[in-house]
Amino acid sequence: MIFRQLFDAESWTYTYLLADPNTHEAILIDSVQEQAERDAKVLHELGLTLKYLLETHVHADHITGVSKLKGIYPTAQSVVSERAGASCADIKVNDKDHIQVGSIVIQVLATPGHTDGCVSYYTDGKVFTGDALLIRGCGRTDFQQGDAGRLYDSVTRQLFTLPDETLVYPAHNYIGLTCSSIGEEKHHNPRLGEHKNREEFISIMNNLNLPYPKKIMESVPANLECGRIEQVN
């Protein structure tokens, strides 16, 4: 499998490229609008055709690259959770669904709690967790149908049941860490690690007192339209 991690320094977002080197079909997970040309250039130089644009959720901190990338790759299909409320999506997925490109089979894991429509994507010893599980952290739960108890259940019952050596690739990191593992997060995640129970986690999450993301007012409506911002301005 061809695998590339890409970074947007403005929103601190990781985008992931996965491709089958034999069929030359590619997937992008959590693309960023401002990086669409960069991503298309990487795809072009690697000789790949973009087949699917997967979203882990409706982001509040950046606008997805889905619309711009579909302009470049008109046959690419967007994939979002059924519960995300993004009626624009070509394919709406639910827990345990599969997405396949060539020999790469991606399993959908419903991991709500940061938003109602959060999913993680698992393939080949890697799990792409969006904002559900971050490296030594997790997504906040105080907007977009956030629910700390549901997030605790998603992480502990879905993600923490994966093998310890599974590599965790999140949607963001703000201190330059690029990946983690399930085993590491079970031990060292200060909010969700093995010494924190559900009540402690809910208490932590309900007392973060964070300001709203700078771009939430433009990002959420734009992402509910798969990044077609001209429809919401």
How many residues at the interface with a copy of itself, by CB under 8 A? 19
Could you tell me if 66 and 54 are in contact, meaning their C-beta atoms sit under 8 angstroms apart?
no
- Residue 206 makes contact with a copy of itself by CB under 8 A: no
**Run of H or E residues at 54:** strand 49-54
- Residue 177 makes contact with a copy of itself by CB under 8 A: yes
Ordered DSSP codes for 75-115: T-EEEEEGGG--TT-SEEE-TT-EEEETTEEEEEEE--SSS
Site string for a copy of itself, 26-45 (x = CB under 8 A): ---------x--x---x--x
- Residue 1 makes contact with a copy of itself by CB under 8 A: no
Q: How far apart are CA 133 and CA 154, in angstroms?
A: 9
Cβ–Cβ contacts within 10 Å for residue 85, how many? 17
- Residue 229 makes contact with a copy of itself by CB under 8 A: no
Q: Cβ of residue 193: shortest distance to a copy of itself, in angstroms?
A: 10
- Residue 194 makes contact with a copy of itself by CB under 8 A: no
Q: Cβ of residue 169: shortest distance to a copy of itself, in angstroms?
A: 11
For the chain, the first-to-last Cα distance in angstroms comes to 39
Choices 6-14, 75-83, 93-101, 115-123; region in contact with a copy of itself by CB under 8 A = 6-14
**Of positions 179, 202, 204, 216, contacts a copy of itself by CB under 8 A:** 179
- Residue 5 makes contact with a copy of itself by CB under 8 A: yes
CA-nearest of 156, 130, 151 to 202 is 151
Cα torsion for 84, 12, 126, 124, to the nearest 10°?
Answer: 90
Q: What does the binding site for a copy of itself look like in residue numbers (CB under 8 A)?
A: 4-9, 35, 38, 42, 45-46, 175-179, 184, 187-188
